[in-house]
Amino acid sequence: EDLYNGTSKKLSLSRNVLCSKCKGKGSKSGASMKCAGCQGPGMKVSIRHLGPSMIQQMQHPCNECKGTGETINDKDRCPQCKGEKVVQEKKVLEVHVEKGMQNSQKITFPGEADEAPDTVTGDIVFVLQQKEHPKF
């Protein structure tokens, strides 16, 4: 019915945005250090001996830097984002379903997805799905 007549719905969402205080750096000074645990790549390799001449090598994110490859001095951490570089923002998007839109048609909100340092912000895409109507 909403596809045939058109409608407008408000959707509330929570997304990550770059911290406005530190501009996504995570620290007051903008400086960060290479992680001492992984030496920068954000990953650690662990080797396990399974038996004679058999080993298992596993790669996993570094638990000291959470896979980022860098650490921020506690005293230099941004007070707003606490070194996370992003903060949560609540936003309400108004989705306009135009009269006569089709099943599987997409409604795109450019640049409204989560933000992260050194990345291009993606889009939020709504895909319309038609439900069975009791009368039609």
Digits of tens for pLDDT over the chain (136 positions)? 566 677 888 999 999 999 999 888 888 887 888 988 899 899 999 999 888 889 999 999 999 888 888 888 888 889 999 888 999 999 999 988 888 788 888 999 999 999 998 899 999 998 988 777 666 5
Sign of dihedral through CA atoms 13, 14, 19, 20?
positive
Q: Which domain holds residue 111?
A: 1-24+87-136
pLDDT at 53: 85
- CATH number, domain containing residue 4: 2.60.260.20
Q: Tell me phi and psi for residue 92, to 5 degrees.
A: -115, 120
pLDDT at 135: 64
Asked if the structure places residue 112 within a domain, the reply is: yes
Q: Determine if the pTM surpasses 0.85.
A: no
How many domains would you assign to the chain? Answer: 1
Asked if the structure places residue 81 within a domain, the reply is: no
Bridge-based pairing of strands 106-109 and 54-61 is: unpaired
pLDDT at 31: 82
Asked if the structure places residue 39 within a domain, the reply is: no
Q: Residue 64 gets which letter from DSSP?
A: T
Asked if the structure places residue 111 within a domain, the reply is: yes
Asked if the structure places residue 35 within a domain, the reply is: no
Asked if the structure places residue 15 within a domain, the reply is: yes
Asked if the structure places residue 75 within a domain, the reply is: no
